[in-house]
Amino acid sequence: MSSPRNYIQTCLQAIKPVSSHASSQSHGQAFAPSNIALIKYWGKREKTFNLPLTDSLSISLGKLGTTTHIRAYQGPEDKVILNHTHVASGTEFYQRISRFLDLFRATKQDCYEVDTYSNIPIKAGLASSASGFAALTLALNDFHKWQLPLSTLSTFARLGSGSAARSLFSGFVKWHRGEQSDGADSYAEPLKTNWPELCIGLVILSDETKPIGSTEAMNRTRETSYLYKQWPLQVKENLQSMEHALNTKDFTLLGQTAEQNALSMHATMLSSWPPICYSTPESLKIMHQIWQLRTEGIPVYFTQDAGPNIKLLFEKNYQQAIEQAFAQKVKIIAPFEVT
Ligand code: PMV
């Protein structure tokens, strides 16, 4: 079977000129938005290539995300800078980046300097790794002048972090599970819907590192949860509803579908063994507050990823009501707003 490095090197060999450091420009840079799944990716059909068991659908977070600069580095190993601070080579963060860069190096001696800045909390279930690997992939493409199609770059970013496949695009994005064993057809693409009134409220309850990483959590769920057997079926139905909601601009359907999909994903985790619970008492408090607001006639829904933070979904005309209800705790983003 092919390996991720073979897959990437085969794609790169098809490009002329050969993408070594020598033929690259002095510096590459890119921005990639963070994304929040409305229909979640939870569970892999193949682990080495990060291939998902189901399709998924997300919304990108506009200007919230990661900016990355990359250049050749004359040193014995890569140099990594995160938010203006040098990252030690023994850390997990450094290792993940360096292992990802291994897939692209023309020779072992080709080292990179990666200077990355993220305006979102790292590892708080706000998909900072998604925007991080997407920005790194786009920066590599810029640095090496590959000019590869975004669908191919999406398959590259996926090898760093599954959900990074979706972070190459703005707006609503669908990631196709694909069928091929090397994942060549498992890429994301943007959807046409433009929804300027749509707002996302980030209720950040913790920016601490999560107790269990998403890869370990999804593998455990797949292996031990009885409820997980239903998950692919539910995703299929939820995707149909969500795409219908996007095509008809039906906010209630969007909100209900996203909230039910997120709660079902967390239910599969709770039914794993040992159980996985990303929610804290604070997360539950926010959920109850949202359900209460709905009974008071405020159309607000939520979604939640591999962390305790809750992401509100509502439309612009309810922004004031949301700000009042959640006071200082909420950061509001309008993903389609052009400024
Ligand atoms: O891409 P990963 O391995 O960080 O997994 C992402 C998992 C969720 O955020 C919970 C769901 C998703 O589709 O983004």
Amino acid at 273: W
- 60 C-alpha to center of ligand 1: Å? 13
How many angstroms separate the CA atoms of 176 and 158, rounded? 12
Mean per-residue pLDDT, 202-215:
82
* DSSP-assigned letter for residue 162: G
How many angstroms separate the CA atoms of 119 and 65, rounded? 6
Which tokens in the block code for residue 4?
Answer: 């991720």
- 162 C-alpha to center of ligand 1: Å? 7
What's the pLDDT at 23? Answer: 65
Strands 301-304 and 310-315: antiparallel
Nearest atom (ligand 1) to Cα of 215:
3
235 lines ligand 1 (CB under 6 A): no
Is pLDDT at 20 greater than 70 in this prediction?
no
How many angstroms separate the CA atoms of 83 and 116, rounded? 6
How many angstroms separate the CA atoms of 104 and 19, rounded? 9
What's the pLDDT at 153? Answer: 98
What's the pLDDT at 250? Answer: 98
How many angstroms separate the CA atoms of 215 and 195, rounded? 32
Dihedral pair phi/psi, residue 300, rounded to 5°: -130, 135
pLDDT digits (tens, 9 = 90+) for 138-149: 999 999 999 999
Is pLDDT at 51 greater than 70 in this prediction?
yes
How many angstroms separate the CA atoms of 4 and 93, rounded? 20
- 213 C-alpha to center of ligand 1: Å? 10
Task: Classify each residue of 247-268 as buried b or exposed e, where b means 16 or more C-beta atoms within 10 Å of its C-beta.
Answer: eeeebeebbbbbbbbbebbbeb
Is pLDDT at 1 greater than 70 in this prediction?
no
Residue 339 CB-density burial (10 A; 0-12 exposed, 13-18 middle, 19+ buried): exposed
How many angstroms separate the CA atoms of 328 and 55, rounded? 35
Strands 56-73 and 172-175: antiparallel
pLDDT digits (tens, 9 = 90+) for 94-127: 999 999 999 999 998 999 999 999 988 554 456 5
174 lines ligand 1 (CB under 6 A): no
- 135 C-alpha to center of ligand 1: Å? 17
What's the pLDDT at 22? Answer: 63
Q: How confident is the model at residue 339 (pLDDT cuts 50, 70, 90)?
A: low
pLDDT digits (tens, 9 = 90+) for 300-323: 999 999 989 999 999 999 999 999
Sort residue 288 into left (φ over 0), alpha (ψ -120 to 50) or beta: alpha
Which tokens in the block code for residue 125?
Answer: 């279930």
pLDDT digits (tens, 9 = 90+) for 223-266: 999 999 999 999 999 999 999 999 999 999 999 999 999 999 99
Omega before 17 within 30 of 0, i.e. cis: yes
Which tokens in the block code for residue 173?
Answer: 């994005």
Nearest atom (ligand 1) to Cα of 125:
9
* SS3 of residue 188 by DSSP: strand
How many angstroms separate the CA atoms of 189 and 140, rounded? 20
